[in-house]
Structure 1
Amino acid sequence: MKFSRYIPVKLLCFTFFFLLNYTVFSQEQEKAGASAQELADKLANPVASLISVPLQNNLNYGIGPYNGIKYTVNIQPVIPFKLSDNLDLITRYILPVVDQQDITGEDTHEFGLSDATVTAFFAPKTKGIILGIGPAFLVPTATDKLLGTEKFGVGPSILVMHQKNGLSLGFLANQIWSVAGNNDRNDVNSFYTQMFMSYSYKSGASLGVNAEVTQNWEGNTTMISLNPSVGGITKFGSQIVQFSVQPLIPIVGPHESKPDWGLRAVVAFVFPGS
Structure 2
Amino acid sequence: MKFKLIMFMLLALGLQASSNAEEVDLAKQLANPVAAMVSVPFQFNYDSGYGSSDGYKSYVNMQPVIPFSINEDWNIISRTILPVVSQHNIVGKSGSQSGLGDITQSFFFSPKGATSDGLIWGAGPALLIPSATHSLLGARKWGLGPSAVLLKQKDGLTYGALANHIWSLAGDSDRRDISSTFLQPFLSYTNNKAWTFGLDTESSYDWKETQWSVPVNFTVSKVVKLGSQPVSFQVGARYWAAAPESGPAGWGFRAGVTFLFSK
TM over 0.5: yes
C-alpha separation in 2, matches of 1:264 and 1:91? 23
173, 178, 181: which is aligned to 1:188? Answer: 178
Is the 1:169–1:197 Cα contact (8 Å) retained in structure 2?
A: yes
Q: Which has the higher Rg, Structure 1 or Structure 2?
A: 2
Describe the superposition over 1:24-48 as per-residue Cα deviations: whole angstroms up to 9, x where unpaired: xxx9744535221111110000000
Is the 2:38–2:65 Cα contact (8 Å) retained in structure 1?
A: yes
* 1:137 corresponding residue in structure 2: 127
* 2:228 corresponding residue in structure 1: 238
Once structures 1 and 2 are overlaid, which stretch shifts more, 239-248 or 113-122? Answer: 239-248
* 2:106 corresponding residue in structure 1: 119
C-alpha separation in 1, matches of 2:170 and 2:102? 14
C-alpha separation in 2, matches of 1:66 and 1:124? 46
Is the 1:65–1:255 Cα contact (8 Å) retained in structure 2?
A: no
1:26-175 aligned within 5 A: 29-32=16-19, 34-106=21-93, 108-127=95-114, 128-175=118-165
Q: Secondary structure at the match of 2:152?
A: strand
Is the 1:29–1:35 Cα contact (8 Å) retained in structure 2?
A: no
Is the 2:83–2:103 Cα contact (8 Å) retained in structure 1?
A: yes
Q: Percent identity?
A: 42
Q: Secondary structure at the match of 1:35?
A: helix
* 1:257 corresponding residue in structure 2: 247
Is the 1:29–1:36 Cα contact (8 Å) retained in structure 2?
A: no
C-alpha separation in 1, matches of 2:43 and 2:67? 19
* 1:268 corresponding residue in structure 2: 258
Is the 1:75–1:94 Cα contact (8 Å) retained in structure 2?
A: yes
Q: Secondary structure at the match of 2:221?
A: strand
Q: Secondary structure at the match of 1:34?
A: helix
TM-score by length of 1: 0.87
Describe the superposition over 1:36-95 as per-residue Cα deviations: whole angstroms up to 9, x where unpaired: 111111000000000010011100122232421110100000011000111000000000
Consecutive unaligned residues in structure 2, runs of 5 or more: 1-13
C-alpha separation in 1, matches of 2:192 and 2:97? 43
